[in-house]
Amino acid sequence: MPAANSRKTVRDALIVVATLLLTTVTAVTRGQESPQVISLSLGDYHFTPDTLEVQTGRPVVLALTNTDTLTPHNFTLQEAAGLDIDTDVSAGSTSTVEFTPVKPGTYTFFCNKKLLFMKSHRERGMEGTLRVTPAGAD
């Protein structure tokens, strides 16, 4: 059984890499600015890295990998930077989220999962910061 899980993890990672490459190539061939590609790990009640920096008006491709073997997590960014994102990531799997921030500022993202009678993942410290800077601000 562990070999099957290992193959699934490798397959999921290859799908994410292919998606990221295709998105970048598509943007370049259309003459658009290349997307900001970011990998984010979700696991053990934390995000790694816990701070993301992006620019307004520039597409973001966010690869979310749940490193836990049993615990599902999600990436929630509510009414922030002109966005409202809530994406589930099953244990041991990877999901990709694409978005374009439109409003500069500092916003909190978190996991809103919770088991009955237990603290939520966010209450256990599973949150991070999204910093959105104006385009061209370096």
Q: What is the mean pLDDT of residues 22-36?
A: 59
Residue 138 falls within a domain, yes or no? Answer: no
pLDDT of 81: 72
Residue 29 falls within a domain, yes or no? Answer: yes
pTM of the model: 0.74
Tens digit of pLDDT for each residue in 95-138?
Answer: 999 999 999 999 999 999 998 889 999 999 999 999 999 987 65
In the sheet that holds 36-43, the strands lie side by side as 46-48, 36-43, 60-66, 94-99
Residue 12 confidence class, pLDDT cut points 50, 70, 90 = low
- Domains of the chain: total: 1
Q: Is 31 left (phi over 0), alpha (psi -120 to 50) or beta?
A: left
Cβ atoms of residues 102 and 57 within 8 Å: yes
pLDDT of residue 88 exceeding 50, the answer is yes
Residue 104 falls within a domain, yes or no? Answer: yes
Q: By residue range, what is the domain housing residue 77?
A: 2-133
Tokens in use for 12?
A: 């999921």
Tens digit of pLDDT for each residue in 44-59?
Answer: 999 999 999 999 999 9
Tokens in use for 61?
A: 């491709």
Residue 109 falls within a domain, yes or no? Answer: yes
Specify the CATH number for the domain of residue 43. 2.60.40.420
